[in-house]
Amino acid sequence: MQITLKDIARMADVAESTVSRALNNKPGVGEDTKLKIIKIAKKHNYRPNQLARGLAANKTNMIAVILSEMDSPGNIEIVKSLEKAAEKNGYQIILCNTNNQTEKEKSYLTLLESNQVDGAIFIGGKLVEGHLLRASFSPDNNIVLVNRLAEENFFTSVLTDYSQGVYKAVGHLLDQGFENIALVGGEDYNLIEEEKSAGYKAALIDHGYQINEDLIFSIKADRKSGYNVFLEIIEGDIIPDAFISTSELTTIGLVEAIKMGGYFIPDDFAVVGYGDNILTSVIDPPLTVLSEPVDALADYSFDFLLKLINKKMKDQQIKVLTPELIIRESSISKYN
Amino acid sequence: MQITLKDIARMADVAESTVSRALNNKPGVGEDTKLKIIKIAKKHNYRPNQLARGLAANKTNMIAVILSEMDSPGNIEIVKSLEKAAEKNGYQIILCNTNNQTEKEKSYLTLLESNQVDGAIFIGGKLVEGHLLRASFSPDNNIVLVNRLAEENFFTSVLTDYSQGVYKAVGHLLDQGFENIALVGGEDYNLIEEEKSAGYKAALIDHGYQINEDLIFSIKADRKSGYNVFLEIIEGDIIPDAFISTSELTTIGLVEAIKMGGYFIPDDFAVVGYGDNILTSVIDPPLTVLSEPVDALADYSFDFLLKLINKKMKDQQIKVLTPELIIRESSISKYN
DNA sequence: TTGTAAGCGTTATCAT
DNA sequence: ATGATAACGCTTACAA
């Protein structure tokens, strides 16, 4: 069995409460008794039982980070950044992966509802559903959303401005002389997808072009779908000369399909992908990408969560960050 | 405030213990009272406080998975597989990333020592150090090691047989007519690196070749080091015609450097990489790789941990799994 | 079948 | 400055 507060109290010949105060640096302990207690604790490698502590203090110093998708290096980057912020503030992170399954999300939500964590950050995922919305109604459930939208915007959230991102990408491709730009977005009917196509359309119109709905594709955000959509497209009536792909995995698949078909990037098709990370960086040729502000997403969301936990958040906060367009070979026209 | 057992007991007009029994499907509750209680609990969306439950029962149904490296897709695959196993057995996973930092490992170890988790699985990382060894002495600390060695083998562990893996790779390359095979391994002086070079040497000798120590390289297991080691090698005296790279990230860097130098794979240099996953699959040309048995690693390690937790492990167990050589274009000689 | 009560290891309140 | 004690929400003998 582990050594407990009580044991230490006995050994130091003081009350448990004194030991607790001493070990937690709380006022009201004599300097010498404090030293004595600390020494004994160290000697016996004392570790406070966090369950008991959490139960008594109603605070665990743990937060849950709930990930919709673990195969996205961009998400992993956000997590790593969150880890740093958490460590700096004395919090530990529980990382949970839902694989976009609502059931798993519900199950992880109980971490919050059963007081195992002080708050939760949800990264990515589908439009917020009822269970999350209901949970958010309790002021005890501190929730921050990252890159995720809800019909009604009750949530403290940090968002990437996909609309702006796609707008930039379209502008760049038009500059390069590409005129038939296809948008490959996610299939989930949700507001984020709407944003993407809004940015796409706005950019085209602002530059004096027509919108062709047949060049907007909604597919599952995985590699295979990215691959298949290209096969489908080249069988179609309108063949684009450029692609904007708005998820990491579809980008991978799309590029694969293009190369497998014997076409060249950017000569036959220009490509703007998503996410500036190890996965997209391995692709040949070097890919122009919309780069997510991963560190800022992490910093803002952790900061918001901390404020929620400490009841320092007066009004609901929403922070919108703009992705950066990093231009590389895959979108540079040979005619330029 | 959340609703508690006591509240439900009051509403149902029974004792708390009865509620506890009813909600935990324990014997000794009348069918009708049980139904009544469950109904009330459901109606009020009751969630047991897991801290209190863990404190009372000395069991949290959570395990920690402590990852040395989050950028390795292979490790992520193991985690995903562990998640499935955990879910099936009613456990929740706390995922922790140490980034190979001993300090972080120590800090996460307190999850075990402070009873927040029932056990821990350590994936990858350096040779086991004192803190882990000491922790393992307490029978309360249920620990399983995956792909990690200790000087003294006190740990329940699941291992990939890197020696066998490299042995296979060398044999294959020799078959293909490559005769100057370089081994690019990790820098950490630890037993795993020794195993790799042991497999390398054994294969060469068994096939009647000499060993050239200058063809064995020990570098940091990251992308940049993989890149740099190639630059260094082509400046050297002996130029190899094939590479075996034993980590995912060095493989990426190595291939990059080869291509950047204007060389072709496999014509100028054959390459056998490590890890059959999304990252290595994106590389052009398709890479011959040593494929880690990720699912088996996960299944065995979770199974072992469960046995440890339930005190069903009689003797210390060590399971060794052999990686598979998946042959693709990058190691096929044009002269064959 | 059901209730009573002790106990898990802390923190926090109130005396002293 | 220190101690005694209740409380956190649950589980589990033991009693009824």
pLDDT digits (tens, 9 = 90+) for B37-54: 999 999 999 999 999 999
Buried b (16+ CB within 10 A) or exposed e, B253-263: bbbbbbbeeee
Q: Do the domains spanning B5-48 and B61-160+294-322 agree at the CATH topology level?
A: no
Q: Give the confidence band of A189 by pLDDT, cuts at 50, 70, 90.
A: confident
What tokens does B270 get? 């054959």
Q: CA–C1' distance B29–C1 (Å)?
A: 6
Domain ranges of chain A: 5-48, 61-160+294-322, 162-293+325-331
Question: pLDDT value at position A190?
Answer: 77
> Edge-to-edge strands of the sheet including A216-219?
A216-219, A181-186, A242-245, A270-274, A288-291, A324-326
Distance (Å) from the alpha carbon of B255 to chain A's nearest alpha carbon = 10
- Please judge whether A252 and B50 are an interchain contact, meaning their C-beta atoms are less than 8 angstroms apart: no
For chain A, give the percent of residues with pLDDT over 90. Answer: 80
- Nearest by CB to residue A51, choosing from B48, B51, B283, is B51
Report whether pLDDT(B1) > 70.
no
pLDDT of residue B251 exceeding 70: yes
Contact B327, B173 (CB under 8 A): no
Q: What do you get for the CA distance between the two ends of chain B, in Å?
A: 73
Q: Indicate which of B3, B4, B55 best probes the interface with A, i.e. most A CBs within 10 Å of its own CB.
A: B55
Cα distance between residue A243 and residue B293, in whole Å: 36
Task: Retrieve residue A25's tokens.
Answer: 């640096």
Any idea what DSSP says for residue B267? T
pLDDT tens readout for residues A108-118:
998 999 999 99
Q: Quote the percentage of chain B above a pLDDT of 90.
A: 80
36-65 on B, CB < 7 Å from strand C: 52, 55-56, 58
How far apart are alpha carbons B161 and B322 in whole angstroms? 5
The predicted pLDDT at position A167 comes to 98
The residue that leads in pLDDT, B151 or A50, is A50
Which residues, including other chains, have CB under 8 Å from residue B268's CB and lie 6 or more apart?
Answer: B241, B258
Residue A334's pLDDT band, with cuts at 50, 70 and 90, is confident
In this prediction, residue A192 carries a pLDDT of 87
In A 6-65, which Cβ lie closer than 7 Å to strand C?
6, 16-17, 20, 23-24, 26, 46-49, 52-53, 55-57
Q: Using the Cα atoms of residue A279, residue A285, residue A286 and residue A289 in order, give the sign of their dihedral.
A: negative
With the CA atoms of B98, B101, B107 and A69 taken in that order, what torsion angle do they form, in degrees rounded to the nearest 10? -10
> Which residues of chain B does A72 touch, with a Cβ-Cβ cutoff of 8 Å?
none
So what's the pLDDT on residue A212?
Answer: 95
More confident residue, A206 or A334: A206
A300 pLDDT band, cuts 50/70/90, is very high
Judge whether A19 and A11 are in contact, CB under 8 Å: no
Confidence bin at A134 (pLDDT 50/70/90): confident
The more confidently predicted of residues A180 and A154 is A180
Strand order in the sheet with B156-160: A318-321, A156-160, A143-146, A119-123, A62-67, A92-97, B92-97, B62-67, B119-123, B143-146, B156-160, B318-321
Give chain A positions within 8 Å (CB) of B103: none
Q: Is A315 exposed, middle or buried (0-12, 13-18, 19+ CB in 10 A)?
A: exposed
Quick one: B103 exposed, middle or buried, by C-beta within 10 A (0-12, 13-18, 19+)?
A: exposed
Q: pLDDT averaged over chain B?
A: 93
CATH number for domain B61-160+294-322, candidates 3.40.50.720, 3.40.50.2300, 3.30.200.20, 3.40.50.300? 3.40.50.2300
Q: Mean per-residue pLDDT for A254-281?
A: 95
Instruction: Give the C-alpha separation, B111 to B93, whole Å.
Output: 12
Helix ranges (DSSP H) in chain B: 5-12, 16-23, 31-43, 50-57, 73-88, 102-113, 130-137, 162-175, 191-206, 223-235, 248-260, 278-281, 294-309
Closest CA to B323 of B213, B219, B199: B199
DSSP B159: E
User: Given pLDDT bands bounded at 50, 70 and 90, which one contains residue A1?
Assistant: low
> Which pLDDT belongs to residue B59?
93
Per-residue pLDDT of B109-140, as tens digits, reads 989 999 999 999 999 998 888 899 888 888 88
Q: If we measure between CA atoms, which residue out of B155, B185, B334, B95 comes closest to residue A97?
A: B95
Residue A261 CB in 7 A reach of strand D: no
pLDDT for res B190:
77
| Residue A166 reports pLDDT greater than 90 | yes
Q: Give residue B336's pLDDT.
A: 63
The 3-state DSSP class for residue A319 equals: strand
Shortest distance between the Cα of A83 and any Cα of chain B, in A, equals 8
Instruction: Identify the weakest region by mean pLDDT among A198-212, B90-104, B282-296.
Output: B90-104
> What tokens appear for A261 in the block?
């078909």
CATH of B5-48, one of 3.40.50.720, 1.10.3720.10, 1.10.260.40, 2.60.120.10: 1.10.260.40
**Contacts from A309-315 at CB under 8 Å and sequence distance 24+?**
A309/A118, A309/A119, A309/A142, A313/A156
Flag whether pLDDT at A140 surpasses 90: no
* pLDDT at A224 > cutoff 80: yes
Categorize the per-residue pLDDT at A137 as very low, low, confident or very high, splitting at 50, 70 and 90. Answer: confident
Average pLDDT over residues B94-118: 91
Output the pLDDT for position A336.
Answer: 63
Q: What is the CATH number of domain B162-293+325-331?
A: 3.40.50.2300
Residue–nucleotide distance: A115 CA to C6 C1' (Å): 24
